[in-house]
Amino acid sequence: MRFQIAAFADEADARIAGQIEAMQAEGIGLLEVRGVDGKSVADLTLPEARELRARLDDAGIAVWSVGSPYGKSGIREPFGPRLDEFRRGLEIGRALGASHLRLFSFFIPEGEEAGPYRDEVLERLSRFCEAAKGSGIVLCHENEKGIYGDIAPRCAEIQRALPELRAIFDPANFIQCGQPTLPAWELLEPYVEYMHIKDALADGSVVPAGCGEGHLPELLARYRGTVLTLEPHLAVFEGLAALEQEGSRTNIPAYRYASNREAFAAAAAALRKLTDAIA
């Protein structure tokens, strides 16, 4: 197979039982774990993480990545507690059998330029990288609205400064920041570990893969990796508000579905259509 599909299955169902059912129905064997029974993966205890891994093993599902919230905090907030949380997150990731952990590069105060915060951002990310040494987990930075690494030039700056940190390429997040995806790919391709599959229109509203301005067919044709994480954002799933800053909520008006499960199935079908055309 040219591609391996992972998923944020908490978009199909907050319950892990429902996530397993949705993944099995769509033939998806890799989980990017983010929400578990209404609880953030970062808040799992180690016994809960081990129990979850056993349950997923029984279902034939492996954890590809920890969809963590680390780095989704203000750059002015004290960093010590965040680093402690991150170290605990590495333990959770190991208990889950994850090979990757996604993180972010800190929210910049609204209305301020990002540039002056460069050194502090890189220092904090370097502390994450140092803490992860020897863990067997690859750290991956995701471009996201409102953080330092929201547009491609700053993402490339991070990757060049911290070669041990890999990149997650999220087309919709770039579009929502006014960043065209093809020039972003030109800058970031050498650093891309894997992709989040989410598409958007020019106004920022999220649509099925291939239906927006993300140039998904071209990106997938150029992509030399194997794993693609399905991240639909086609319905307002439980936990979405907690993932975003106040004032920068994801707009989801263009496509309507009867349920999160239906939206998840539609997103999976759209991705399969794209990957089948390339394979």
Could you read off the pLDDT of 51-107 as tens digits, one per residue? 999 999 999 999 999 999 999 999 999 999 999 999 999 999 999 999 999 999 999
- The CATH number assigned to the domain holding 170 equals 3.20.20.150
Rounded to whole angstroms, what are the CA distances from 234 to 146, 192, 231, 253, 258?
21, 24, 9, 9, 11
Report whether pLDDT(239) > 90. no
Cβ neighbour number for residue 84 with a 10 Å cutoff: 11
Domain limits for position 57: 4-278
- Using a 10 angstrom Cβ sphere, with 0-12 exposed, 13-18 middle and 19 or more buried, the burial of residue 279 is exposed
Percent of the chain with pLDDT over 70: 92
Would you state the pLDDT for residue 219? 98
pLDDT digits over 134-153, tens only? 999 999 999 999 999 999 99
Full-model pTM: 0.93
Residue 114 to residue 194: CA distance in whole angstroms? 25
Residue 257 has what pLDDT? 86
Q: Considering its fold, how many domains does the chain have in total?
A: 1
**Phi and psi based region of residue 237 (left: phi greater than 0; alpha: psi -120 to 50; beta: remaining):** beta
pLDDT at residue 235, rounded to an integer: 76
Q: List Cβ neighbours of 139 (8 Å cut-off, separation of 6 or more).
A: 100, 101, 103, 128, 129, 132, 164, 165, 166
Quote the CA–CA distance of 202 and 192 in Å, as a whole number.
Answer: 23
